[in-house]
Structure 1
């Protein structure tokens, strides 16, 4: 699996490039096909970020990421 930096992830925000990616626990997921991430925004969250610290406040569990393809690893 390819490795990406936080800067590379930040460009996949649905604005700068057509890809809409988010990271969770070191994995990067492509959420481009999700209607809930249209234009790179999901409620108060923005794509191109690591959402690991945001998940405890979400109304869903981490199982939501099972619906998406993990396409890379996030470098620390």
Structure 2
């Protein structure tokens, strides 16, 4: 997989490809920022959440935004 710069822009359709399945990394968006969460999304899942989606609402109900600070930023979610 090539390195993706932090200024990469993702559409929702593009983000959905990064679902942690078939060798793809697991990315999620929170507050329009896209993070690589491959290390915690085993087979594209973390508890009842699926990678490749905007998880802003679900994430903020359970975590403080600072809890993502250890994950690489790979881009921003458009729209």
TM-score, structure 2 normalization: 0.83
| Partner residue in 1 for 2:9 | 3
Is 1:65 aligned to 2:65, yes or no?
A: no
5+ long unaligned stretches in structure 1:
none
Query: Alpha-carbon deviation of 1:57?
Result: 3.0
Aligned-partner Cα distance in 1 for 2:66–2:43 = 23
What stretches of structure 2 of length at least 5 have no aligned partner?
A: 1-6
Would you tell me which structure has more helix in proportion to its own residues? 1
RMSD: 1.3
1:25-36 paired onto structure 2 within 5 Å: 25-32=31-38, 34=39, 36=40
